[in-house]
């Protein structure tokens, strides 16, 4: 308990602290609830941040672990780094930033467990549950740390986006995880054996690497979501180590929310979690080169022709993909949509759950361009509307609109729910080339009779369309 307060206050402080922890927990729960909609997500973040601020301030009175000066210094330095990243990082790099945050969260939990172990010379003072919590916090936290940085490397291009694997890798990963859990049990039985702790740490760091390198680029949204869940579970384990109820609750909320989101992502790809982790179907970032088949003809369009088509349409649906993010074309998309709306054209956005490189990537990107939240329609909402849509503008998307998901039982994306853009009267694909998507398969939509290709950089193509609309 804090030594900076009078004894009269210290006497009633424990109950007051628990009350404030309960208030902070309520803020967390409310914040998570508000995150279920883009229109309330910002308010949800504010609620959660307020809850965290309450928790940090109260904990300063609850514990006297180090000097206040060091804590304040850490808060200032961390806050400045966070502020700099928030201001500097482009929306296109947001998946990489989220991966790093997940990694640091896991590392923090592992360090907390190690710190508690190091500052207690009488290690036998920990009960079995406490020792198991320490082991699990180190295991999950270290795994999350290295796994998240491998994901960061894949997303940023430092590491190949290919599924890097070799015979027996899955067996090694499963065996290492089982062995680590066994070592944690042995550590709880013999906590004086410090070598066990370092072996657990080392294996956990290695498993984080070997469990993410075999996952290809197509599965990155699921990986990001799963690692986020891991960071929450690690935090909850750290809460058990510290006997801090708020940390347990907040970690459990993050862990549960991450697992739910991971399940949603898996359903969006019609795949099980085990299939994502051990299936390894994704290819390098940006897909393979792809070569035009001489027997397949495409219909190309120009900015002027497309401007006429969309200007006189009744309904236009925009389907964004990662190519939109790479081209940083979200603002010009908004300008095009605004011009069409001023002409009486109904414009909506069809968002696939796994479009982009992290959950909600397209929503965040378009929100930055001030696209109204009510125009962002998820897959289940927009699919029935394609039959009454005149033109669909597909910008940088590939696998999420590939009809092979419905027709080719032998393909890697078969069964994956897609945006049924082929039901529309006309589709226009903005793309640099006919290259394949992350799943590594060609897209027959490109060669369909009612499809047109607009080749080139998405931003430049949209700028040309925007200018052409002035002449219609």
What residues in the chain have per-residue pLDDT under 70?
A: 1-14, 38, 62-67, 91-92, 121-125, 161, 217-218, 276-295
For residue 347, the model assigns a pLDDT of 96
Structure tokens at 259: 């697992």
| Among 62, 219, 399, 422, the one annotated catalytic | 399
- 391 bridge partner residues: 316
Rounded Cα distance between 274 and 199, Å, is 26
Rounded Cα distance between 35 and 31, Å, is 6
pTM score, whole prediction: 0.76
The answer to whether residue 190 is catalytic is: no
Does domain 303-469 bear CATH number 3.30.360.10?
no
3-state DSSP assignment of residue 209: helix
Residues 21-52: tens digit of each pLDDT: 889 989 988 988 887 776 787 888 899 989 98
For residue 454, the model assigns a pLDDT of 95
* Residues 374, 39 contacting (CB under 8 angstroms): yes
Rounded Cα distance between 86 and 103, Å, is 17
Angle at which helices 194-212 and 128-156 pack, to 10 degrees? Answer: 30
For the chain, the first-to-last Cα distance in angstroms comes to: 72
Rounded Cα distance between 255 and 247, Å, is 12
* Residues 371, 334 contacting (CB under 8 angstroms): yes
| 284 C-beta neighbours (distance < 10 Å), count | 16
Rounded Cα distance between 258 and 225, Å, is 6
* Residues 430, 454 contacting (CB under 8 angstroms): yes
For residue 386, the model assigns a pLDDT of 96
Computed over its alpha carbons, how large is the radius of gyration of the chain? 25
**Nearest of 372, 349, 337 to residue 421 by alpha carbon:** 349
Could you tell me the residue ranges of all domains in the chain? Answer: 7-279, 303-469
What is the residue whose two structure tokens read 């853009």?
A: 421
Angle at which helices 38-62 and 68-88 pack, to 10 degrees? Answer: 160
What is the residue whose two structure tokens read 């508000």?
A: 34
Rounded Cα distance between 251 and 235, Å, is 5
């Amino acid at each position: 308990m804090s030594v900076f307060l009078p004894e009269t206050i210290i006497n009633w402080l424990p109950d007051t602290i628990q009350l404030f922890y309960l208030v902070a927990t309520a803020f967390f729960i409310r914040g998570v609830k508000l995150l279920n909609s883009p229109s309330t997500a910002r308010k949800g973040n504010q609620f959660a941040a307020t809850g965290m601020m309450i928790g940090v301030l109260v904990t300063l009175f609850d514990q006297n672990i180090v000097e206040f000066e060091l804590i304040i210094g850490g808060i200032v330095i961390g806050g400045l780094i966070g502020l700099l990243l928030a201001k500097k990082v482009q929306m296109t790099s947001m998946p990489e930033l989220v991966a790093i945050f997940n990694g640091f969260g896991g590392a923090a939990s592992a360090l907390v467990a190690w710190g508690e172990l190091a500052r207690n010379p009488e290690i036998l003072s920990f009960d079995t549950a406490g020792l198991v919590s320490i082991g699990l916090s180190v295991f999950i936290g270290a795994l999350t740390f290295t796994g998240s940085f491998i994901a960061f490397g894949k997303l940023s291009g430092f590491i190949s986006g290919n599924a890097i694997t070799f015979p027996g890798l899955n067996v090694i990963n499963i065996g290492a995880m089982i062995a680590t859990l066994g070592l944690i049990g042995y550590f709880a039985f013999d906590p004086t054996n410090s070598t066990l702790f370092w072996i657990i740490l080392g294996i956990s760091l290695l498993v984080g690497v070997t469990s993410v390198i075999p996952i290809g680029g197509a599965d990155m949204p699921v990986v990001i979501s799963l690692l986020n869940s891991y960071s929450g579970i690690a935090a909850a384990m750290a809460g058990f180590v510290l006997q801090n109820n708020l940390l347990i609750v907040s970690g459990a909320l993050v862990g549960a929310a991450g697992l739910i989101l991971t399940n949603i992502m898996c359903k969006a790809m019609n795949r099980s979690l085990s299939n994502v982790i051990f299936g390894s179907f994704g290819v390098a970032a940006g897909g393979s080169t792809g070569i035009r088949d001489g027997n397949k003809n495409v219909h190309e369009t120009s900015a002027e022709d497309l401007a006429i088509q969309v200007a006189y349409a009744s309904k236009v649906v925009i389907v964004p993909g990662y190519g939109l993010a790479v081209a940083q074309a979200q603002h010009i998309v908004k300008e095009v949509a605004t011009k069409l709306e001023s002409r009486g054209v109904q414009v909506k956005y069809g968002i696939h759950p796994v479009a982009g490189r992290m959950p909600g990537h397209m929503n965040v990107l378009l929100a930055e361009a001030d696209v109204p939240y009510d125009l962002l329609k998820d897959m289940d909402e927009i699919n029935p509307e394609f039959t009454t849509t005149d033109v669909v503008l597909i910008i940088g998307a590939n696998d999420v609109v590939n009809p092979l998901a419905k027709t080719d039982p032998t393909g890697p994306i078969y069964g994956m729910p897609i945006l049924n853009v082929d039901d529309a009267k006309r589709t226009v694909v903005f793309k640099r080339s006919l290259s394949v998507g992350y799943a590594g398969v060609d897209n027959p939509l490109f060669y369909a009779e009612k499809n047109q290709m607009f080749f080139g950089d998405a931003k430049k193509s949209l700028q040309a369309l925007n200018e052409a609309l002035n002449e219609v």
